[in-house]
Structures are given as structure tokens and as C-alpha cells.
């Protein structure tokens, strides 16, 4: 950028208004600015001592090239700066408009401190929910994350529909991303970035309460005399309905309950990737059990609908379970409490993929999930999350039942 062009930009910025001038006035402006900036090295501008140029565009301020004309709204100038020195035929000198020359000291003083830059960086991260280059999975089900940028690359995880990731770099075909515990490559064709990702994220972001104590009591009402519904372990995340003073109203699957605000950390978060470990099973599991769990995972992310049994259009917890088991010739009632009376009761330590784990309010069963191995379950959780994977102990299990006898 030429030294003179930079000064034109500074002039426009300081007057804060569109500038209009005749050709004769422009020559006067150039002459004054050349005098003011003679011998001044403006730091960080790309201008050297010989006045070498850098290609630039000055959009939105009336400058299209190095030969662009400066425009001054002279009526506004006369109103704000009456009684000028006569250096222009309207009574205002360019010196009067600019004040003192702008030199190196001014530029240095205007720069941010390292602490200010760090704060600006954090503000930018917070504006994108912890991401500096946000990406959102734009798929119907799950987006494959691969170890290398190739269609036959090894799968290292899945990015569920509408889940978020940090885009590390992209070549327009493959994006190197990190999400949750997973890092790898995804197809750019199915990834929203930039403004589109921000807009989608604003629709998706959920406020989450993360448990910060060893075992948190979940209560029916916002007081310590209320019934303890269940216990939730350290690190577990609960969807927030609303903070209520010393308490936080949260979702426990499809119920609204309360936890103490003292023992949770509340943040706005987006969904993240699922690791392959979360999708795989233990050794020695029968083919039927593996197949049932694989089938159950096909509907990950699909909606929760109270009273529903559709694996695609929506199901509640027991409706989801009965529809999965129906494919394998097993009929179950549409009630978690009734399903708990089928099969053989076992301990959590004995659970294999395909067994059912039941949860409840106090000692009354009201929720069911399918154990998928690795300490995890898949279940139709709530209207906000739909069908998802959780830790088997995300709340206290009340009963474990074996339906499959293989």
C-alpha cells in the first residue's frame, strides 16, 4: 500500500464521514499528506522507505485503487470546522481536520497489550462456544471421521448429525478436524463452516450442567427436604432447563428435576464426535448380540417422541427397546416397568451387549436402555437429545435384565 493511500484511509476514518473533493482539492490533500508523512515509517503497514506498493483493496470507503479520488462532504466539514485557514475554497485546511501528524509513536500506543490480545482471543472462542474455526456435521445420520483424507481411510469415529468440531485445516475436499476425543478427516461436502456453521450452531446449542462432585443427588424439587430421585456421578452431563437461584432445573431423560448449583458447572455446549471405542463391543459376544447393538445404533440421533415406537419418526425409551427387539422375534410391552419383569435379573457386572438396564425415580422404574458394552448404553433419552449413547451409570441403575439367552 502506498504511503499516500494509507493517509487517505486515516483521513477518512478520522472524519468518520464520506469525503468529497474536486480534482484541484485532491492535489492539495496529496501535497499536505506528503509533507506530514515525509520520513515516517508506519509500523506493520507494508510500506518501505522507498514507497514500495502492496496490492490492496479499500472497500466501502470510496477508494477503488491507488488513483481513487478522495471525496469530502464539504457542507458537513464547514458545519463542524468553521473559520478554516483558507487552504481549500470552503474554508477548512486538511491539517485542521487531521490535527497532529500521525507517526510511529501513535501507532505503537494504539496496539493491544499481550493480555488484551489474549482476552480478545478468548472472547472470540466464547463467541463460538469454545471453537475458533467451527464446523457442523451437515448429514442425516453420522459423518465418518477417517484416519487419513481418503474414502478408504480407517474409521476413527463418527460425527453425529449437527455435532460440532474444530476445523484445523482444509483443502476444500477434506477437512482435518477435532471433536471431543476424536481427531481425523471428514469430507468437506458434509461439513458446514463459517457463517453457515455459526447460524446452525445458534439453533443447536444446549446449556449443560456438568457434575463436579463424586456423587450428586438429583431431587424432585428445589430443596434439600425433597425426595432423592437418583445419584449422578462426577463428570456426567445434564441438560439445563433453567437456573433457579441455588438450584438448577435439569432434564433427567424426559423428566425435569433439580440439582444443587454448587456442585455443577453450567456451560453452553454443542454435540461432539463418538469414538470407535464407543461404537465397538467386547470380545466373545454372540453374533446376535452384536447385530442387535449395531441395528440399535443405526437410529442414533433420531427423535424422542413420548408414546412413540417408530425408530425413524420418534419413539420413547420403551418404544425404542420394543421396536429393536421386535426385529429379533421378541415381543415386549410398551412400558419400561413392565419390560423389567421379562427375562432374567442379573448384576451390572454381568451385563453383556443387548441386555437391558433400568433406571427410576427413587425405587420406581421409569426408564430403560440397551447395554452396548464398554460401560455404555443406547436409549431414547429426551425430546432434546433423542436417541443417544450414555454411560451405563449416568444415573443409578435400579435393575439389569437379560432378555437374549444367547
For residue 40, give Cα distances in angstroms to 4, 43, 48, 106: 12, 9, 10, 12
Catalytic-residue membership of 176: no
Angle at 315 between CA 360 and CA 322, to 5 degrees: 75
Q: What is the DSSP-derived secondary structure letter of residue 69?
A: P
Angle at 247 between CA 241 and CA 250, to 5 degrees: 25
Distance CA 130, CA 124 (A): 8
3-class secondary-structure state, position 192: strand
Choosing from 7, 165, 293, 367, the catalytic residue is 367
Give every CB contact of residue 37 below 8 A, 6+ residues apart in sequence: 3, 4, 7, 101, 102
Catalytic-residue membership of 367: yes
**Closest C-alpha among 239, 215, 241, 240 to residue 228:** 215
Choosing from 12, 165, 293, 379, the catalytic residue is 379
Choosing from 12, 293, 317, 334, the catalytic residue is 317
For residue 92, give Cα distances in angstroms to 15, 21, 61: 13, 12, 21
Residues with catalytic annotation? 317, 367, 379
Amino acid at each position: 500500500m502506498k504511503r499516500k493511500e494509507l493517509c487517505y484511509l486515516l483521513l477518512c476514518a478520522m472524519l468518520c464521514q464520506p469525503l468529497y473533493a474536486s480534482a484541484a482539492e485532491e492535489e492539495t490533500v496529496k501535497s499536505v499528506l506528503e509533507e506530514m508523512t515525509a520520513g515516517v515509517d508506519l509500523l506493520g503497514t507494508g510500506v518501505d522507505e522507498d514507497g514500495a506498493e502492496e496490492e490492496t483493496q479499500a472497500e466501502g470507503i470510496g477508494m477503488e485503487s491507488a488513483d481513487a479520488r478522495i471525496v469530502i462532504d464539504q457542507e458537513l466539514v464547514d458545519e463542524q470546522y468553521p473559520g478554516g485557514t483558507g487552504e481549500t475554497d470552503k474554508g477548512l485546511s486538511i491539517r485542521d481536520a487531521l490535527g497532529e501528524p500521525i507517526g510511529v509513536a501513535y501507532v505503537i500506543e494504539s496496539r493491544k497489550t499481550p493480555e488484551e490480545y489474549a482476552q480478545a482471543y478468548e472472547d472470540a472462542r466464547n463467541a463460538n462456544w469454545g471453537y475458533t474455526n467451527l464446523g457442523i456435521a451437515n448429514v442425516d445420520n453420522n459423518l465418518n471421521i477417517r484416519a487419513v483424507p481418503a474414502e478408504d481411510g480407517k474409521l476413527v469415529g463418527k460425527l453425529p448429525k449437527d455435532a460440532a468440531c474444530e476445523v484445523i485445516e482444509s483443502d476444500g475436499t477434506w477437512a482435518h478436524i477435532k471433536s471431543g476425543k476424536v481427531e481425523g478427516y471428514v469430507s468437506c461436502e458434509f461439513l458446514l463452516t463459517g457463517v453457515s456453521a455459526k447460524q446452525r450452531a445458534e439453533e443447536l446449542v444446549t446449556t449443560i450442567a456438568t457434575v463436579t462432585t463424586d456423587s450428586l443427588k438429583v431431587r424432585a424439587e428445589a430443596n434439600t427436604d425433597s425426595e432423592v430421585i437418583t445419584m449422578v456421578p462426577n463428570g456426567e452431563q445434564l441438560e439445563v432447563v433453567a437456573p433457579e437461584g441455588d438450584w438448577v432445573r435439569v432434564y433427567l431423560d424426559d423428566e425435569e428435576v433439580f440439582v444443587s448449583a454448587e456442585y455443577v458447572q453450567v456451560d453452553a455446549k454443542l454435540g461432539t464426535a463418538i469414538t470407535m471405542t464407543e461404537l465397538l463391543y467386547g470380545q466373545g459376544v454372540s453374533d446376535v448380540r452384536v447385530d442387535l447393538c449395531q441395528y440399535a445404533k443405526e437410529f442414533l440421533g433420531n427423535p424422542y417422541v413420548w408414546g412413540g415406537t417408530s425408530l425413524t419418526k420418534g419413539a420413547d425409551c420403551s418404544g425404542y427397546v420394543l421396536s429393536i427387539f421386535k426385529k429379533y422375534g421378541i415381543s415386549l410391552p410398551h412400558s419400561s416397568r413392565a419390560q423389567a419383569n421379562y427375562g432374567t435379573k442379573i448384576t451390572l457386572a454381568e451385563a453383556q451387549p443387548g441386555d437391558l438396564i433400568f433406571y427410576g425415580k427413587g425405587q420406581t422404574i421409569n426408564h430403560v436402555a440397551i447395554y452396548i458394552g464398554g460401560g455404555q448404553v443406547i436409549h431414547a433419552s429426551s425430546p432434546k437429545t433423542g436417541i443417544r449413547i450414555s454411560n451405563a451409570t449416568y444415573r443409578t441403575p435400579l435393575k439389569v435384565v437379560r432378555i437374549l439367552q444367547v
